[in-house]
């Protein structure tokens, strides 16, 4: 049976397989966010992060072992650690935003990441950006303002944490671009997960709250789903064209809205959907431009 399914899968066009993998990975990430929201009321984000990164080390250990000590050696340890620090702080911001905002709101705001990447790539990598891409970026930031509504009664300060998370992950991905010129993906993942585990170990033990049996299960699933989702994205972009499979990531917003409504009784207002539509449209343009330029999106 498995061999039949495997043969059928391999016969699918690469773009179809890639799109299905991105859809699946997006579903895992949305489920992961829901579990973080569920346990985040009692368990500190630092503790959640420690378990997530530690499980990532365990699940990815076979890949690291195959790489060997020679393959793990690097001359760019400072850049690895800097990238890990930025990304782990960003992960804490994501957890805080997911717990304190509606899932659809947090997800839509964090989709602004490509907009920040455009700005950071110019500043840090010296990339040239045309007026069309700048225009799409400005429109995307306008959509973020529509969603967040600073100075209005509907404004939630946690929205600023979600924006900070998008900025930090954008910076992390720009640093990955710098690392990718000499470092293989497995080495980047190794330093990211090991550094994250070590960074969170002390604070997590200080703030530790003993989870219940259900919370332990959910924390375990957070680590599992995050890792599987990451693998789905890496494989999806490896077998499919980024301009075709990339937009499938926006299914995560639909998943988030459905989970938020049916599990947490969340109902985003009209401004959320208007702002989200503007952000998605502008980031679709930016990411499509990236794909046409020959740069494949990176996950991590």
CB contact at 8 A, 211 and 88: no
CB contact at 8 A, 115 and 283: yes
**Sign of the dihedral through C-alpha 45, 54, 31, 274:** positive
- What phi, psi does 265 have (nearest 5°)? 55, 40
Which of 19-28, 97-106, 203-212, 225-234 has the least mean pLDDT?
Answer: 225-234
CB contact at 8 A, 231 and 70: no
Q: Is the pLDDT reported for residue 300 higher than 60?
A: no
pLDDT mean over 158-186:
89
Half-sphere exposure of 169 (CA within 13 A, CB side): 23
**CA distances, 56 to each of 4, 192, 235, 291 (Å):** 31, 10, 17, 28
212 secondary structure, DSSP code: P
Terminal C-alpha separation, the chain: 34
Q: Summarize pLDDT for 87-105 with one digit per residue, the tens.
A: 999 999 999 999 999 999 9
Q: Please give the distance of CA 48 from its chain centroid, rounded to a whole number.
A: 16
| Residue 132, number of CB atoms within 10 A of its CB | 11
* Cα angle 115, 120, 123; round to 5: 140
pLDDT mean over 207-230:
93
15: confidence class by pLDDT, cuts 50, 70, 90: confident
- Residue 299: the pLDDT is 52
Say if residue 227 is exposed, middle or buried (CB neighbours under 10 Å; 0-12, 13-18, 19+).
Answer: buried
């Amino acid at each position: 049976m498995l061999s039949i399914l495997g043969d059928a899968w391999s016969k699918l066009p690469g773009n179809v397989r890639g799109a299905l993998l991105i859809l699946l990975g997006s579903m895992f990430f949305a489920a992961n966010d829901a579990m973080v929201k569920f346990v985040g009321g009692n368990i500190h984000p630092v503790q959640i992060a420690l378990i997530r990164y530690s499980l990532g080390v365990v699940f990815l250990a076979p890949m690291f072992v195959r790489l060997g000590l020679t393959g793990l050696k690097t001359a760019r340890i400072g850049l690895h650690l800097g990238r890990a620090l930025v990304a782990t702080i960003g992960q804490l911001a994501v957890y805080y935003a997911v717990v304190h905002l509606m899932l659809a709101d947090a997800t839509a705001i964090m989709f602004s990441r490509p907009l920040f990447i455009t700005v950071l790539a110019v500043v840090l990598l010296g990339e040239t950006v045309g007026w069309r891409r700048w225009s799409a970026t400005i429109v995307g930031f306008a959509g973020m303002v529509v969603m967040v509504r600073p100075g209005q009664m509907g404004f939630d300060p946690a929205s600023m944490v979600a924006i900070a998370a998008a900025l930090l992950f954008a910076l992390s991905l720009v640093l990955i671009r710098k690392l990718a010129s000499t470092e293989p993906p497995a080495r980047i993942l190794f330093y990211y997960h090991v550094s994250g585990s070590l960074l969170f170990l002390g604070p997590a033990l200080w703030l530790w709250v003993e989870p219940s049996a259900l919370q332990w299960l959910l924390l375990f699933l957070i680590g599992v789903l995050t890792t599987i989702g990451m693998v789905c994205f890496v494989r999806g972009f490896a077998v499919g064209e980024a301009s075709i499979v990339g937009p499938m990531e926006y299914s995560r917003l639909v998943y988030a809205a459905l989970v938020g409504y049916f599990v947490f009784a969340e109902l985003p207002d009209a401004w959320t959907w208007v702002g989200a539509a503007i952000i998605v449209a502008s980031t679709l343009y930016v990411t499509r431009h990236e794909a046409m330029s020959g740069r494949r999106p990176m996950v991590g």
